[in-house]
Amino acid sequence: MGKTKQMEQLLNTSRYIIDFLPKQVPAKAKGSFSKVESYFLNGTESEQIAGKFTKIVLKLSCYYKIEICENERWFSFKSCHKLERRIRRVMRSGSGFLNILLESEQILLHISGGELCMIVYNPSESMQKLLAALAASEGLFWRS
């Protein structure tokens, strides 16, 4: 099966989130989520979160081979700095996406421009524990 087909199938599996907030903000919450989100997206916090996502992916690459799909083009992982630039570029853009496939584990990591979370598709129980630990090590939260 090709990587694109595998990616499409994984997008329809269970998903978890690595986020800057410990739980989802309800639609009817009376707080200031939109102001806070805008502040984080348009300030240095977005760059910091991109750095945290980069560190999580780099740590995963120590254990698993990763393949990168940026806006429908596939790349093999060759350089830590190139991966960091790709993640930062997508997050700054406000659009586009970056998918990271761990083919041997049947897991997909998804980062969208203009978002402050990374979505993880199809993680096994052991991978959930690893990703929760990696998220916590970066001051982020793992949630379903």
pLDDT of the chain along its 144 residues, tens only?
A: 688 899 999 999 999 999 999 999 988 888 888 899 999 988 889 999 999 999 999 999 999 999 999 878 899 998 999 999 999 999 888 888 999 999 999 999 999 998 999 999 999 999 999 999 999 999 999 998
Q: Which two tokens stand for residue 113?
A: 């421009």
The pLDDT assigned to 1 comes to 65
Cα–Cα distance, 39 to 33 (Å, whole number)? 10
The predicted structure's pLDDT at residue 57: 97
pLDDT at 16: 98
107-112 sheet: strands from edge to edge: 73-76, 67-70, 97-102, 107-112, 118-121, 15-19, 141-143
pLDDT, residue 30, reads 85
pLDDT of residue 118: 98
The pTM of the full predicted model, rounded to 2 decimals, is 0.93
Q: Is 30 helix (H, G, I), strand (E, B) or coil?
A: coil
